[in-house]
Structure 1
Amino acid sequence: MKVAYVQMEPTFLDPEKNYSKAERLVRKAREKGAQLVVLPELFDTGYNFESKNEVESVAGQIPDGPTTEFLVELAREEEVFIVGGTAEKDERGNLYNSAVIVGPLGWGYIGKYRKIHLFNREKLFFKPGNLGFHVFNIGIAKVGVMICFDWFFPESARTLALKGADIIAHPSNLVMPYAPKAMPIRALENRVYTITANRIGEERGLRFIGKSTIASPLAEVLAMGSEDSEEVAVVEVDLSLARDKRINERNDVFKDRRPQYYVL
């Protein structure tokens, strides 16, 4: 199948502008044959909030809020699966840094993930995710979802891989330089494909690094974005490679695990 990342610069606190930009870039990826497209973390709102009121002004419910509805309609029109990050407000008013996965006609809204490992000032506005790590079966592939700083914890990708993920979708707003180097290793140690969709630009003095990355189960960098341009990358992936956990005739990434000796 063909997978893609969208690297974009969201307009802060302006979802409508961001919908328009995401629509244009997703269509560009679809024109290149993408069947699964990953958008950045908080693609619709921007990131560097100063107050909880700012988050509340743009957060929406899932699946009944405007961002999920926009993504469902876009996925239906373009006949594509989409993973995108958004600010969620639940029925009790709690705020989460979330991601939704949607699909084409017959699929619609598939599910959501709430970011478990919050980074820095996110802790001032969002509650830690409480839904666990999920793998979503979209027919052609099994897609796990984690968000940005989750990558820093190897358990995140390992949990998704153990739950059967072929691909890990990784919406991000990266500011530290490490993830583009680390994600190929996450892919290798779990024998999965990873799609990191990062943003670019600067927001209230906070600079985002770009370098969106698609990595293979062999630690190959199949695509990497620039540091400062909006762009998409589409690559073809061989899912059979992600489903074969053997390193050689005697070693298997999962069968050789010795969890009784691991510290949890």
Structure 2
Amino acid sequence: MPEDREFWGEFFQLYKEQPCLWQIKSKHYLNKYKKNEAYGKLAEKLKEKYHDATTDLVKKKINIYRSNFRKEAKKVEDSMRSGTGADDVYTPTWTYYEDLMFLKDQEAIRTSTSNLQAHEVDCAEIEVRSSKSRPRTTKIRNEREELISLACKRLRGHSDDLDKLALAWASELRRMNPTQQIFAKKAINDVLIEGQLGTLHRHSVSINVGSAPAAQNAPTIVASSSQSPVEWKTDCQ
């Protein structure tokens, strides 16, 4: 109905004007008093349609509409990833999709955050340890904790596929013994340097090519650029 479309358009505009309710980076996002005040404004608006509207009803309605928005946004993203032409990209048909477009980046952050809940304890423990005065640990442990701490802080802000990949790598590094971590980090750093110089190509990296005479099981990584090959050999027994 036209009147419904007009009402919800106004409701979503009012919701947009309350960033403490939906913008994760808002300085008031964790302020319950600010949020209660904002929900009160939305409840007053909702009473134009539901005379006995409460903040609980506001939250319920918002959850329903945000869920519908996520479903439509996912269809768009999935159609874009499928490699089809621009004409085949899904066009949302839900009436209120455009009204809630301000949530698009926030929903992506919320999804990434929920996927990282398993790592929150590790992040918190590392940050607590880093903030306290303590005897100096080994260089390898310091570097490992710094890497994970930086990844956690980064992922609490804007997150994309590269951020999630970095966290996955950090998790894999933690499973290695200290010597293997050194070899892995050196190889990754050298590849990144070649990439920044624009010299990487499809056959730039080979893993464990051949074997060293003194270490039959030593991993060998060969990374070549468009100019000259660079070979790293690790020697660990």
Q: TM-score, normalised by structure 1?
A: 0.23
Q: Which has the larger radius of gyration?
A: 2
Structure with bigger strand share is 1
Q: Which structure shows the bigger proportion of residues in helix conformation?
A: 2
TM-score by length of 2: 0.25
